[in-house]
Protein backbone atom coordinates (compact mmCIF):
# COMPACT_ATOMS: atom_id res chain seq x y z
CA UNK A 1 0.00 0.00 0.00
CA UNK A 2 1.14 3.56 -0.70
CA UNK A 3 2.23 5.41 2.44
CA UNK A 4 0.07 8.40 3.37
CA UNK A 5 3.22 10.22 4.40
CA UNK A 6 6.84 9.51 3.58
CA UNK A 7 9.86 11.31 5.07
CA UNK A 8 13.19 10.69 3.37
CA UNK A 9 16.50 11.75 4.99
CA UNK A 10 14.93 14.74 6.70
CA UNK A 11 17.25 17.02 8.69
CA UNK A 12 16.40 20.10 10.70
CA UNK A 13 18.68 22.27 12.83
CA UNK A 14 17.88 25.27 15.02
CA UNK A 15 20.16 28.21 15.56
CA UNK A 16 23.46 28.96 13.88
CA UNK A 17 27.13 28.54 14.57
CA UNK A 18 28.21 27.19 17.94
CA UNK A 19 24.77 27.24 19.47
CA UNK A 20 23.22 25.22 16.61
CA UNK A 21 21.04 22.29 17.72
CA UNK A 22 20.46 19.39 15.37
CA UNK A 23 16.87 18.48 16.18
CA UNK A 24 16.51 15.89 13.37
CA UNK A 25 19.33 14.11 11.59
CA UNK A 26 18.60 12.21 8.35
CA UNK A 27 15.34 10.74 9.50
CA UNK A 28 13.49 8.49 7.06
CA UNK A 29 10.04 7.23 8.01
CA UNK A 30 6.82 6.07 6.32
CA UNK A 31 3.31 6.28 7.70
CA UNK A 32 1.03 3.85 5.82
CA UNK A 33 -2.48 5.06 5.02
CA UNK A 34 -5.03 4.00 7.61
CA UNK A 35 -2.42 3.36 10.28
CA UNK A 36 -2.04 4.74 13.82
CA UNK A 37 1.59 5.52 14.72
CA UNK A 38 2.87 6.68 18.10
CA UNK A 39 6.14 8.58 18.34
CA UNK A 40 8.06 8.34 21.60
CA UNK A 41 11.38 9.47 22.92
CA UNK A 42 13.07 11.45 25.66
CA UNK A 43 12.38 15.14 26.02
CA UNK A 44 14.26 17.13 23.40
CA UNK A 45 14.68 14.13 21.11
CA UNK A 46 12.98 15.84 18.18
CA UNK A 47 9.44 14.50 18.27
CA UNK A 48 7.70 17.85 17.89
CA UNK A 49 10.13 18.84 15.18
CA UNK A 50 9.40 15.62 13.29
CA UNK A 51 5.68 16.27 13.53
CA UNK A 52 6.05 19.84 12.32
CA UNK A 53 8.06 18.76 9.30
CA UNK A 54 5.70 15.92 8.43
CA UNK A 55 2.67 18.20 8.67
CA UNK A 56 4.08 21.08 6.64
CA UNK A 57 4.10 23.40 9.65
CA UNK A 58 7.85 23.78 9.33
CA UNK A 59 10.34 23.30 6.53
CA UNK A 60 13.20 20.82 6.90
CA UNK A 61 16.72 21.95 6.03
CA UNK A 62 17.12 19.01 3.70
CA UNK A 63 15.33 15.81 2.69
CA UNK A 64 11.90 15.23 1.27
CA UNK A 65 8.43 15.07 2.77
CA UNK A 66 5.61 13.61 0.67
CA UNK A 67 1.97 13.72 1.65
CA UNK A 68 0.11 11.57 -0.87
CA UNK A 69 1.31 12.78 -4.26
CA UNK A 70 2.59 16.14 -3.01
CA UNK A 71 6.19 17.04 -2.24
CA UNK A 72 5.80 19.50 0.65
CA UNK A 73 9.27 21.00 0.45
CA UNK A 74 8.43 22.39 -2.98
CA UNK A 75 5.16 24.08 -2.05
CA UNK A 76 4.66 27.80 -1.46
CA UNK A 77 3.41 29.06 1.92
CA UNK A 78 0.00 29.57 0.38
CA UNK A 79 -0.23 26.05 -1.06
CA UNK A 80 0.99 24.62 2.25
CA UNK A 81 -1.77 26.50 4.02
CA UNK A 82 -4.34 25.10 1.60
CA UNK A 83 -2.97 21.61 2.15
CA UNK A 84 -3.35 22.02 5.90
CA UNK A 85 -6.98 22.98 5.45
CA UNK A 86 -7.94 19.91 3.45
CA UNK A 87 -5.45 17.12 3.91
CA UNK A 88 -4.34 17.29 7.53
CA UNK A 89 -5.86 17.91 10.93
CA UNK A 90 -4.19 18.82 14.22
CA UNK A 91 -4.65 18.17 17.91
CA UNK A 92 -2.16 19.91 20.18
CA UNK A 93 -1.34 19.56 23.82
CA UNK A 94 -2.70 22.97 24.74
CA UNK A 95 -3.95 26.19 23.17
CA UNK A 96 -5.89 24.30 20.55
CA UNK A 97 -8.74 26.73 20.12
CA UNK A 98 -9.09 30.39 19.26
CA UNK A 99 -10.28 31.99 22.49
CA UNK A 100 -12.65 34.38 20.75
CA UNK A 101 -14.59 31.71 18.83
CA UNK A 102 -17.22 29.34 20.25
CA UNK A 103 -16.66 25.58 20.19
CA UNK A 104 -18.78 25.24 17.05
CA UNK A 105 -17.00 28.08 15.30
CA UNK A 106 -13.65 26.57 16.17
CA UNK A 107 -14.76 23.26 14.72
CA UNK A 108 -15.61 24.70 11.31
CA UNK A 109 -12.60 27.03 11.23
CA UNK A 110 -10.63 25.06 8.57
CA UNK A 111 -13.69 25.09 6.27
CA UNK A 112 -14.17 28.79 6.85
CA UNK A 113 -10.54 29.48 6.05
CA UNK A 114 -11.08 27.64 2.77
CA UNK A 115 -13.86 30.04 1.95
CA UNK A 116 -16.57 27.42 2.36
CA UNK A 117 -19.85 28.09 4.04
CA UNK A 118 -20.23 25.01 6.28
CA UNK A 119 -23.60 23.26 6.04
CA UNK A 120 -25.88 23.69 9.00
CA UNK A 121 -25.41 20.89 11.47
CA UNK A 122 -21.86 20.10 10.40
CA UNK A 123 -20.33 21.45 13.58
CA UNK A 124 -23.11 19.98 15.67
CA UNK A 125 -22.63 16.51 14.20
CA UNK A 126 -18.88 16.59 14.81
CA UNK A 127 -19.35 17.82 18.38
CA UNK A 128 -22.00 15.15 18.96
CA UNK A 129 -19.50 12.54 17.95
CA UNK A 130 -17.07 13.70 20.66
CA UNK A 131 -19.92 13.97 23.16
CA UNK A 132 -20.03 17.77 23.31
CA UNK A 133 -23.18 18.48 21.28
CA UNK A 134 -24.59 20.56 24.09
CA UNK A 135 -21.51 22.77 24.40
CA UNK A 136 -21.52 24.12 20.84
CA UNK A 137 -22.04 27.72 21.86
CA UNK A 138 -19.49 27.80 24.66
CA UNK A 139 -16.21 29.70 24.47
CA UNK A 140 -12.98 27.74 25.10
CA UNK A 141 -12.52 29.53 28.42
CA UNK A 142 -15.78 27.90 29.56
CA UNK A 143 -14.58 24.36 28.75
CA UNK A 144 -12.29 22.06 30.71
CA UNK A 145 -8.93 20.95 29.29
CA UNK A 146 -10.29 17.55 28.26
CA UNK A 147 -13.34 19.12 26.64
CA UNK A 148 -11.14 21.53 24.71
CA UNK A 149 -9.12 18.59 23.52
CA UNK A 150 -12.25 16.83 22.26
CA UNK A 151 -13.33 20.00 20.45
CA UNK A 152 -9.96 19.93 18.73
CA UNK A 153 -10.57 16.33 17.71
CA UNK A 154 -14.00 17.28 16.39
CA UNK A 155 -12.30 19.98 14.34
CA UNK A 156 -9.86 17.43 12.96
CA UNK A 157 -12.88 15.38 11.83
CA UNK A 158 -14.84 18.05 10.12
CA UNK A 159 -12.58 18.75 7.15
CA UNK A 160 -12.26 15.00 6.61
CA UNK A 161 -8.48 15.12 6.36
CA UNK A 162 -6.52 12.07 5.36
CA UNK A 163 -3.98 12.51 8.13
CA UNK A 164 -4.33 13.71 11.70
CA UNK A 165 -1.32 14.87 13.72
CA UNK A 166 -1.51 14.94 17.49
CA UNK A 167 1.23 16.32 19.77
CA UNK A 168 0.83 14.94 23.29
CA UNK A 169 -2.97 15.19 23.01
CA UNK A 170 -3.43 13.53 26.40
CA UNK A 171 -0.57 15.30 28.16
CA UNK A 172 -2.80 17.65 30.08
CA UNK A 173 -5.65 15.23 30.73
CA UNK A 174 -6.64 13.01 33.64
CA UNK A 175 -6.70 9.26 33.08
CA UNK A 176 -10.36 9.06 32.22
CA UNK A 177 -10.43 12.00 29.81
CA UNK A 178 -7.25 10.66 28.24
CA UNK A 179 -8.84 7.25 27.70
CA UNK A 180 -11.89 8.84 26.04
CA UNK A 181 -9.74 10.95 23.76
CA UNK A 182 -7.61 7.95 22.74
CA UNK A 183 -10.72 5.86 22.04
CA UNK A 184 -11.95 8.65 19.79
CA UNK A 185 -8.69 8.75 17.87
CA UNK A 186 -8.69 4.97 17.53
CA UNK A 187 -12.20 5.03 16.12
CA UNK A 188 -11.10 7.55 13.51
CA UNK A 189 -8.62 5.03 12.18
CA UNK A 190 -10.84 1.98 12.45
CA UNK A 191 -14.15 3.44 11.27
CA UNK A 192 -13.10 6.31 9.00
CA UNK A 193 -9.81 4.97 7.69
CA UNK A 194 -7.78 8.03 8.67
CA UNK A 195 -4.04 8.02 9.24
CA UNK A 196 -2.90 9.23 12.66
CA UNK A 197 0.54 10.27 13.86
CA UNK A 198 0.65 10.92 17.60
CA UNK A 199 3.50 12.12 19.81
CA UNK A 200 3.18 10.90 23.40
CA UNK A 201 5.12 10.30 26.59
CA UNK A 202 2.56 7.86 27.94
CA UNK A 203 3.17 4.09 27.27
CA UNK A 204 -0.53 3.39 27.82
CA UNK A 205 -1.42 5.90 25.12
CA UNK A 206 1.22 4.49 22.82
CA UNK A 207 -0.27 1.04 23.28
CA UNK A 208 -3.45 2.22 21.50
CA UNK A 209 -1.39 2.69 18.30
CA UNK A 210 -0.55 0.07 15.68
CA UNK A 211 3.14 0.90 15.85
CA UNK A 212 5.53 2.86 18.04
CA UNK A 213 8.58 4.70 16.64
CA UNK A 214 11.32 5.62 19.14
CA UNK A 215 13.43 8.76 18.66
CA UNK A 216 16.60 9.75 20.48
CA UNK A 217 18.85 12.70 19.67
CA UNK A 218 17.08 13.35 16.40
CA UNK A 219 17.44 9.78 15.12
CA UNK A 220 14.99 6.89 14.78
CA UNK A 221 16.43 4.29 17.11
CA UNK A 222 13.76 1.63 17.20
CA UNK A 223 10.20 0.75 16.29
CA UNK A 224 7.66 -1.71 17.65
CA UNK A 225 4.48 -3.05 16.04
CA UNK A 226 1.41 -4.08 18.03
CA UNK A 227 2.91 -2.46 21.12
CA UNK A 228 2.03 -3.34 24.70
CA UNK A 229 2.28 -0.76 27.44
CA UNK A 230 4.79 -2.59 29.63
CA UNK A 231 7.10 -3.38 26.70
CA UNK A 232 6.96 0.27 25.57
CA UNK A 233 7.72 1.47 29.09
CA UNK A 234 10.68 -0.87 29.33
CA UNK A 235 12.05 0.35 25.99
CA UNK A 236 11.70 3.98 27.10
CA UNK A 237 13.54 3.29 30.34
CA UNK A 238 16.34 1.80 28.30
CA UNK A 239 16.49 5.02 26.24
CA UNK A 240 16.98 6.92 29.46
CA UNK A 241 13.60 8.58 29.69
Ligand X SMILES: Nc1ncnc2c1ncn2[C@@H]1O[C@H](COP(=O)(O)OP(=O)(O)OP(=O)(O)O)[C@@H](O)[C@H]1O
Residues 20, 21, 113, 183: which binds other proteins (CB under 8 A)?
113
Q: Which is nearer to Mg ion, 70 or 241 (CB)?
A: 241
- Residue 195 in the binding site for ligand X (CB under 6 A): no
Q: Is 59 helix (H, G, I), strand (E, B) or coil?
A: coil
Query: Residue 10 contacts by C-beta under 8 Å, 6 or more apart in sequence?
Result: 24, 26, 27, 28, 50, 53, 60, 62, 63, 64, 65
With CB under 5 to 8 Å by kind, the binding choice for 101 among ligand X, Mg ion, other proteins, none is: other proteins
Q: Give the per-residue contact string, 47-86, with ligand X (x = CB under 6 A; - = no).
A: xxx-------------------------------------
Q: Which is nearer to ligand X, 46 or 110 (CB)?
A: 46
Residues forming contacts to Mg ion in the complex (CB under 5 A) are 48
Q: Is 237 helix (H, G, I), strand (E, B) or coil?
A: helix
Give the number of residues written for the chain. 241
- Residue 91 in the binding site for ligand X (CB under 6 A): no
Region from 77-85, 116-124, 128-136, 185-193 binding other proteins, contact rule CB under 8 A: 77-85
Cβ neighbour number for residue 141 with a 10 Å cutoff = 9
Region from 19-27, 112-120, 208-216, 223-231 binding other proteins, contact rule CB under 8 A: 112-120
Q: How many residues line the site for ligand X (CB under 6 A)?
A: 12
Measuring CA to CA, which residue among 168, 111, 157 is closest to residue 132?
157
Cβ atoms of 83 and 75 within 8 Å: the answer is: yes
Residues of span 141-160 touching other proteins by CB under 8 A: 155
Residues 20, 81, 234, 238: which binds other proteins (CB under 8 A)?
81
E strand spans, the chain:
3-14, 21-32, 36-40, 62-67, 70-71, 88-91, 163-167, 195-199, 211-216, 219-225
Amino acid sequence: MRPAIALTTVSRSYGRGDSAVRALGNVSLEFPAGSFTAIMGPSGSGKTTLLQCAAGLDRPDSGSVRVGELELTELSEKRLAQLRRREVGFVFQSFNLLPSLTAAQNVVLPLRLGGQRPKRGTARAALDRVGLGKRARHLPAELSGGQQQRVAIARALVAEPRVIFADEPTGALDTRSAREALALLRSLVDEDGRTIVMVTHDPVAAAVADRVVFLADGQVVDSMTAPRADAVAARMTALGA
